[in-house]
Amino acid sequence: MLSVSGLWKSYRSRGHSIEALRGLSLDVAEGECFGLLGPNGAGKTTLLRILATLLPPDRGSVTIAGADLRRSPERIRRILGYVGQQGGTDILTTVFQDLLLQAHLYGLKGQEARRRVSELLEQLELSDLASRPVIALSGGQRRRLDLALGLVHRPLLLLLDEPSLGLDPVSRRQLWDCLSGLRGQGTTILLTTHYLDEADQLCTRLAIIDQGRIIADGSPAQLKQESAGETLILTLAPSGLASAREQASAILRSCPFVRAIRQEEGGEELYLSVERGESALPTVLHLLEAAGLTVSSLILQRPSLDDVFLRYTGRSLKKAAATAVVSPAGPAMAWRKGR
Ligand SMILES: Nc1ncnc2c1ncn2[C@@H]1O[C@H](COP(=O)(O)OP(=O)(O)OP(=O)(O)O)[C@@H](O)[C@H]1O
């Protein structure tokens, strides 16, 4: 659906050149929800504005559904919908009028335009708000209207720049449901986000962008798996029995799926680095109990996308985007004695 190759873009500011994109390449397949994850200033908005034909690139090529960006910008504008960070609403009209104007701008007339507006109002749960002035909408309602405006002409590819920026948790959930629904109907989505949980929840594939380049890409699960592996946190009973921990370490060290075992100073737990925690967990339990050891808990901890970002950039995305809502990595699977 989308193919970007060797894209360069620099801005000039007070006699300095700022390289926003430095040879960026990526491919997005039809039907994907592709996420660009990166800190402030990474080049995400620049990329989306180039794709939306709002900004010319310095070098590189882009094709969208077979259309070349430089040669056929009008065709590209018909193929894609773009919802920028600021949205495109006219605050002085009503929701219905705003959508109708957009439909007219895309060449829909009379009943056809009204029918399309009604469809979108229903699809984005805005029907009850149709006669409300845009200025009186909440942040989440406004964002859904932005999305509806970007969808009027039934784009094949939807570009969303930070779709849930500044929304409260309930509005974010509603927006995510809308986006999942759109994907279900076959719309390809390319979105930018700072939010790790958003990327995890919505995206089939992700690229981590930093300083104008893509430094890693894959499914969220793949990226997490490749970067950090998984950890099993083991506690034996009775706690404080060092000999039991030593015996357990000796048994587990000989297991091919255990990459490393560590213990924090003064800590009761053993941390086992494993490749596939889900299959390792029952085997570890079985081996230790067969050796007469009592396991009081065994917790599988999966790496977060922040671990992935840290590995590739040496910086924490949480710190890079301090205002972002970040969900904790949290244990993904656990076994506890007495359950
Ligand atoms: N019009 C401009 N003039 C000069 N520099 C610019 C301009 N627009 C963007 N930049 C610079 O280009 C770089 C990339 O900016 P861009 O907005 O693409 O990043 P971003 O990843 O979208 O950031 P954010 O997450 O904060 O929106 C930054 O260093 C930014 O300061």
CATH at 212: 3.40.50.300
Binding site membership of 151 for ligand 1 (Cβ less than 6 Å): no
Residue 169 lies inside a defined structural domain of this protein: yes
Say if residue 133's pLDDT is above 80. yes
Q: Residue 304 Cα, ligand 1 centroid: separation in angstroms?
A: 26
Q: Residue 56 Cα, ligand 1 centroid: separation in angstroms?
A: 15
Is there a single domain that holds both residue 246 and residue 137?
A: no
Query: So what's the pLDDT on residue 125?
Result: 86
Contact 118, 112 (CB under 8 A): no
Mean pLDDT on 189-197: 86
Residue 335 lies inside a defined structural domain of this protein: no
- CA 243, CA 228: separation in Å to the nearest integer? 29
Is there a single domain that holds both residue 63 and residue 41?
A: yes
Residue pLDDT, tens place only, 231-263: 888 998 876 678 888 999 999 999 988 888 888
Is there a single domain that holds both residue 218 and residue 99?
A: yes
- CA 101, CA 303: separation in Å to the nearest integer? 47
Binding site membership of 212 for ligand 1 (Cβ less than 6 Å): no
Say if residue 273's pLDDT is above 70. yes
Is there a single domain that holds both residue 40 and residue 120?
A: yes
By residue range, what is the domain housing residue 120? 2-223
- CA 34, CA 203: separation in Å to the nearest integer? 5
Is there a single domain that holds both residue 48 and residue 78?
A: yes
CATH classification at residue 281:
3.30.70.100
Binding site membership of 180 for ligand 1 (Cβ less than 6 Å): no
Ligand 1 atom index nearest CA of 209: 21
Is there a single domain that holds both residue 206 and residue 239?
A: no
Q: Residue 63 Cα, ligand 1 centroid: separation in angstroms?
A: 23
Picking from 209, 221, 154, 164, the residue whose alpha carbon sits closest to that of residue 35 is 209
Is there a single domain that holds both residue 148 and residue 280?
A: no
Residue 326 lies inside a defined structural domain of this protein: no
pLDDT band of 318, cuts 50, 70, 90? low
The dihedral formed by the CA atoms of 45, 49, 55 and 56, expressed in degrees to the nearest 10: 100
Is there a single domain that holds both residue 139 and residue 231?
A: no
User: Higher-confidence residue: 338 or 209?
Assistant: 209
Tokens linked to 43: 């080049």
Complex ipTM value: 0.97
Mean pLDDT on 308-313: 74
Residue 308 lies inside a defined structural domain of this protein: no
Query: So what's the pLDDT on residue 113?
Result: 92
Query: So what's the pLDDT on residue 335?
Result: 59
Overall domain count for the chain: 2
Is there a single domain that holds both residue 24 and residue 90?
A: yes
Residue 52 lies inside a defined structural domain of this protein: yes
Binding site membership of 41 for ligand 1 (Cβ less than 6 Å): yes
Mean pLDDT of the chain: 84
Binding site membership of 20 for ligand 1 (Cβ less than 6 Å): yes
Query: So what's the pLDDT on residue 100?
Result: 92
Say if residue 264's pLDDT is above 80. no
Question: Nearest C-alpha to atom 6 of ligand 1 is from which residue?
Answer: 11
**End-of-domain residue from the set 223, 250, 285:** 223
**End-of-domain residue from the set 164, 194, 223:** 223
The residue behind tokens 């009204």 is: 114
**Structure pTM?**
0.75
Q: Which residues contact 292 (CB under 8 A, 6 or more apart)?
A: none
Residue 236 lies inside a defined structural domain of this protein: yes
Mean pLDDT on 119-145: 88
Residue 258 lies inside a defined structural domain of this protein: yes
String of DSSP letters for 242-280: HHHHHHHHHHHHT-TTEEEEE--TT-S-EEEEES-HHHH
Query: So what's the pLDDT on residue 275?
Result: 78
Ligand 1 atom index nearest CA of 21: 14
Residue pLDDT, tens place only, 18-74: 899 999 999 999 999 999 988 888 899 999 999 999 999 999 999 999 999 999 999
Residue 306 lies inside a defined structural domain of this protein: no
Query: So what's the pLDDT on residue 124?
Result: 84
Picking from 83, 48, 41, the residue whose alpha carbon sits closest to that of residue 317 is 41
Q: Residue 20 Cα, ligand 1 centroid: separation in angstroms?
A: 6
Contact 272, 232 (CB under 8 A): yes
Contact 62, 69 (CB under 8 A): yes
- CA 151, CA 117: separation in Å to the nearest integer? 10
Binding site membership of 13 for ligand 1 (Cβ less than 6 Å): yes
Ligand 1 atom index nearest CA of 38: 21
